[in-house]
Amino acid sequence: MAILSGLSAFPITPTDRDGRVDATALRKLVARLCAAQVDSIGLLGSTGSYMFLTREERRRAITETLGETGGQTPVVVGVGALRTDEAVKFAQDAKAIGATAGLLAAVSYAPLTDDEVFEHFSIVARESGLPIVIYDNPGTTHFHFTPALVGRLAEVPGIVAIKNPTDGTDTINSHLAEHRRIVPEEFSIGYSGDRNCCEAMIAGADTWYSVLGGILPEPCLKIVRAAQRGDAEEARRLDRKLMPLWDLFKKFSSLRVVYALAELLDICSTEPPRPILPVSAAAKREIAEVLQNLPSGSGW
């Protein structure tokens, strides 16, 4: 059975200007996800700004999150780092605190070869003892995992899942089928890129790794559940209602939009880590209008 399935919700990590985690705000975000009964929480992903946080603040975020979940919701923690030894330490920290798995990207200043990435992932999995999810995020790392490399890594003990990007819906079926052929049956295949993940779940993906799910989990869960029970028509109907948000994600970036949503929903008031700037006042008004026009309650 796959270690991850359903909706994996990725919240922001609220911090002050010095990069210190706002524990109260983070717990509030996590409490919303637990109340919605998401299938897992993706802590310290790209939306969680893991690369901007020190080891101490990463540990603080994990501790606060696990304290809020009470061990009832699986937590996947970003453990990526430029150096392999640092990634091992981050993964060891996550395991010691109680994380379910680690999310590991091929982060590097210099371009990496497939063999270098294979060694990096193998060492982190072996030396940390934490189950590892491959994070294929070429938009930020500029490294793309080929099917051959995924197949090799899927045979490494402790590497249990992959979080794939989606550039569009036309190739999801063939991409998923190719991955199914090369990984063990229990290996979890999931996708990110919220705009396209409804189609990924309809195609039979195990997991939707969702940015919006980290701030508005309920509509995302409804899409996932519809897809899981084979109701593609309903999943697509719900997804269409979110199209104005997907358009905002494309226009301003999902990271900036969810920071604005956190404030508009009165969850917390925090800014992205510098040098990333928050959206302009005009953009925030545009986001507020879209939010106001979204269905509420049974409207989904």
- 26 three-class SS: helix
* DSSP class per residue in 60-106: HHHHHHHHHHTTSS-EEEE---SSHHHHHHHHHHHHHHT-SEEEEE-
Of these residues, 89, 163, 222, 284, which one is catalytic?
A: 163
Q: Single out the catalytic residue among 135, 191, 209, 259.
A: 135
Helix (H, G, I), strand (E, B) or coil at 191: strand
163 tagged catalytic: yes
Side chain identity at residue 61, one-letter code: A
Residue 48 in contact with residue 273, Cβ under 8 Å?
Answer: no
C-alpha distances out from residue 268 to 86, 120, 263, 264, 300, Å? 31, 36, 5, 9, 25
| CB 114, CB 151: distance < 8 Å | no
- Counting Cα atoms < 13 Å in the Cβ hemisphere of 219 gives 23
**Dihedral sign, CA of 225, 190, 166, 130?**
positive
Is 209 an annotated catalytic residue?
Answer: no
15 is in an annotated binding site: no
- Give dist(CA 159, CA 244) in Å, integer: 36
Q: What are phi and psi of 99, to 5 degrees?
A: -65, 150
The CA radius of gyration of the chain, in Å to the nearest whole number, is: 18
Distance CA 172, CA 197 (A): 9
Map tokens 């490399």 to a residue.
149
User: Pairing between strand 101-105 and 188-191?
Assistant: unpaired
Binding residues for pyruvate: 47
Catalytic residues: 135, 163
